[in-house]
Amino acid sequence: MKKLFTSLFLFVLLLSFYTFPALAANVYDNENLLSASEKQLLEKRLQDIAETYNFDVAIVTVDSLNGKSAMEYADDYYDENGFGFGPDHDGLLFLLAMDSRDYWTSTSGYGIKAFTDYGIRYISDNVVGLLSEGEYYKAFDKYLDYVDMFLAEAATGTPFDTDHEVITSGDYLFLSLLTVAISAAIAFIVVGIMKSKMKTANKQRYALNYVKDGSFKVTSDKDLFLYTTTTKQKVESSSNSGGSSTHSSSSGNSHGGGGGKF
């Protein structure tokens, strides 16, 4: 009996030294907006993003901001819960506050570079409608679609920004149709003008017949330069409306981000 007790004690002692790997479970649905299966699907997507890009993403829903702004709450939640990978805490947090209907994206480390102010506005504009309709799972799922797309683009070295905007297949089709329509309109107007000026002309067999007798008179002559060459050089401006605006959280860490109401 004593031998059995000693064995069990050693087994428990060995377990205490073993550290189980922590599973990423960065969906903190405090307001129960998601079903269990929806939460699992989102967590699986977060794990895939983390493994692919070494980038930490968290989704948080809360009832109240407890007197803080959405930006302050999201930044503090990110810092106090130790989100982010590496020394720069690379990642982002997407927050919903149900009582005030606020949403906010807080970025950190590499997230500040990958998700510029333009990028955060673009993503928010494309999911806020679903949030307003109460389609929270669809909104979060679509949000992660854009997170994946923006991280893939940032990995090329050129994140989406004001000088490198997102162009979807629908945008390409619209621009193509718009180009064709404008070209056709211009051609129609030009041809119409040319035709209107030809109303008094009668078709002649010989070109000389179009010249009125005695109408050609040389009254003066002068030299004209028919061609000139102009060289243009782009002047670089010091101002740049792109990039990410940053601020410091209450803990002193640097964050980017943006948000609004839904």
What's the pLDDT band for 213 if we cut at 50, 70, 90?
confident
Q: Give, in degrees to the nearest 5, the angle at Cα 39 between 65 and 62.
A: 5
Place of tokens 């149709």: 177
Position 13 pLDDT exceeds 50 = no
Position 184 pLDDT exceeds 60 = yes
Q: Comparing 146 with 236, which gets the higher pLDDT?
A: 146
CA separation for the pair 250, 76 (Å, rounded): 7
Report residue 41 as tokens.
């699907």
Q: Where are the domains of the chain?
A: 22-167
From residue 243, alpha-carbon distances to 25, 114, 144, 167, 169 in Å are 30, 9, 21, 18, 25
From residue 77, alpha-carbon distances to 40, 96, 113, 188, 249 in Å are 21, 12, 20, 61, 10
Instruction: Produce one character per residue of 15-51: b if its CB has 16 or more CB atoms within 10 Å, e if not.
Output: eeeeeeeeebebbbbeeebbeeebbebbbebbeebbe
φ/ψ bin of 84: left (φ > 0), alpha (ψ from -120 to 50), beta (otherwise): left
What pLDDT is attached to residue 239?
45
Position 236 pLDDT exceeds 50 = no
22-167 adopts what CATH topology? Diaminopimelate Epimerase; Chain A, domain 1 (3.10.310)
Q: Give, in degrees to the nearest 5, the angle at Cα 113 between 112 and 115.
A: 70
What pLDDT is attached to residue 5?
53
Q: Quick one: average pLDDT of 90-96?
A: 98
Report the percent of the chain where pLDDT is more than 70.
74
Place of tokens 């479970």: 25
Residue type, 255: H
Phi, psi of 78 (to 5 degrees): -65, -50
**Is the whole model's pTM more than 0.75, yes or no?**
no
Pairing of strands 254-261, 102-108: antiparallel
Q: Quick one: average pLDDT of 106-133?
A: 98
CA separation for the pair 188, 232 (Å, rounded): 33
Q: Quick one: average pLDDT of 213-223?
A: 73
* Mean pLDDT (the chain, rounded): 84
Q: Decide if 70 contacts 78 (C-beta within 8 A).
A: no
